[in-house]
Structure 1
Amino acid sequence: MKTKLYVLYGGKSVEHEVSLKTAVTVLLSIDESRFEVYPVYITREGLWCTPGHLSKEGLTVERLTAQSAFQDPARSIGEILSGVMALPGPKVVLPLLHGTNGEDGTVQGLLELLNIPYTGNGVLSSALTLDKAMSKHLTTEAGIPQTRYQVCSYEEWNTDGAAVLHEMEDTIGYPCYVKPASLGSSIGISRCINQEELLIGIREAFSYDRKLVIEREVDGREIQVAVLGNERPLASLPGEFIHDHTFFDYESKYMDKRLAMSIPAKVSDGLTQRIRKLAIRAYQAHGCEGLARVDFFLGEDGELYLNEINALPGFTNFSMYPVMWERTDGTSYSELIEKLIAYAIARHENKQTIRYTR
């Protein structure tokens, strides 16, 4: 019997479009001789619906979201769970949901209650890695180096914004970055070189979240590592994007056709091993399982600083995460998906040994 593979994509998130691009690539790469695929689209409004079987031929983002293709566009989450995801036989879920309402532990919690295996990180690690403020507190406790930062809530800013500004300028300084605490793909992030820009950046960040992080800029390079696995994770060779942007924002990441990957990154063998070990250490400190991309700054002083951990990194076949694995050990895109499914099933089976009665 084929394993039923439920692919969740879209979502009530500003990273909706990123999820759609990921879903197209994943759906085109799944081995249909082994898996029976059920695409499930979550609209921007949070409505769950399914287009049924989708042929790989000519598959596009437009077809994934075309309401006319849905068997019943009025379906709810309850109808999907009871009518589609409750079908008998072995099953696993691929939650390809970037950002809020998908990468933050919410969907993972639902799947835990349903007792269905799913790829990627669990509830706690998903929540921790998406919340930059909590991740930075944990990174400090773990003794992993990172740049100086400050956390500010919307309430703190409204109550005494002058004090927040004074502390920031006294301890962080300029240039600095203002980031919504729980968002990815560089959305809502501003690079600020003076107080005027900082005030604009704070307003922008608070339009996406009720908590933000302000960080000191690190002069140097951004180095990325792909980590894969559960209890004994593996780290890829490090990579980096070659570009001339002062700030690597959303448009730079997704629309600049001049971007070039350097994999492995041009660093010494000794530093390569140090980066890979520190990536695994950060991954385990956050309780990650399945996959994550760990991003560092390599300062001009030669020091490494953890930037962030992305629990569901960009996952098209041209994204850094899968390409790093292909250039590390030859793992193809479709093989990588099957490894993630295997890790999901292994984690789920391991959890079934836990006792819930005395």
Structure 2
Amino acid sequence: MSRSLAVVGAGPAGLAAAHALAGSGVAVTVFEKSRGVSGRAATRWRDAPGPDGEPFRWRFDHGAQYLSPDADSRAAGLVRSLGGVVDVEGAVWPFDDDGRLRPDRARAEPGLRWTWPDGMADLGRRLRDATPGLDLRNGARVTRLVREGGAWTVETDDGHAGTFDAVLLTPPAPQTAGLLRESDVGGADGEALARALGGAGYRSQFTVAWGITAPLDRPGAFYALVNADEHGGRGGGHDVAWLAFESDKPNRAPDGAHIVLAQMSDAWTQAHYDDAQADVVAAAAEAVADLVGPLPGPAWTDTQRWRYSLPDGAADADALEAAAAHGLFFAGDYTAGKGRVHLALEEGLAAADRVRAWAG
């Protein structure tokens, strides 16, 4: 007997699960509140002239910076099957909370670092296109779930959306908990599940990007800098959490131009969360100058504010797994306990295993 599954969220976890279930006898419908796919594996573009005055489509990854799976993992195998992946070259140097660069602490063997020439968002597009029979509904925000008679009714902000045998929830833990509290989940006990998700607290993060056509030197042979030396290896004492020369990736900037991309700390983000964009860019530029010196005047700038950027811990796995008896499943960075795209893929693949077992 065929079964039906509603997946909430078209990020890496949700789409990996849908891809793994293709041809399994489980019909998958994915609900995504935005117009695109891929979640925080996100890419923006900007049409603007390069140093020679010729038009160019600049690209930059304003969320996840690259994929870093173990070479023999399921996630790596999935990404290889999608094709088109390229390596991100260059060293990543740690820096202390006082802004001192520490190339001596860079990893000698950084492992895999993958992206696509068109950006990290290509992950979601390739998963979508490689999943036969996928019913993807963009612009559909799920507002409520109702469990009745052994089936799930999924309601969206534009009205009744359909009835399914099971549901897989992949949004960030706070959003998933909020949905459960608005839902009637029957014997699954939505309030208890919402509490189980509470262990996955999240850090917020501003991303700021500068497109630069003037000459630009960097104080060393690195691709990126990371504040990961202190606070138990996590960093966080500096206003900048991550600083990358995004233009080192292929197909990102015109010849002779640069994209500098900063991902700011949680404390800095909270302090500037409601500031005007120009003020955010100016304040971030001051913090960046502490690491690499003042930036030349940019041709363009951009910002992205991520409320739920990186989880600080994992949800209660045992409580979430018990909900499978009611046809309710969970996957995402909050089940992995760490904000990494390859881990979200692994969690999506593992959720597909659980769905297959439930479906018989």
Q: TM-score, normalised by structure 2?
A: 0.32
Structure having the higher helix fraction is 1
TM-score (normalizing by structure 1) = 0.32
Q: More strand per residue: 1 or 2?
A: 2
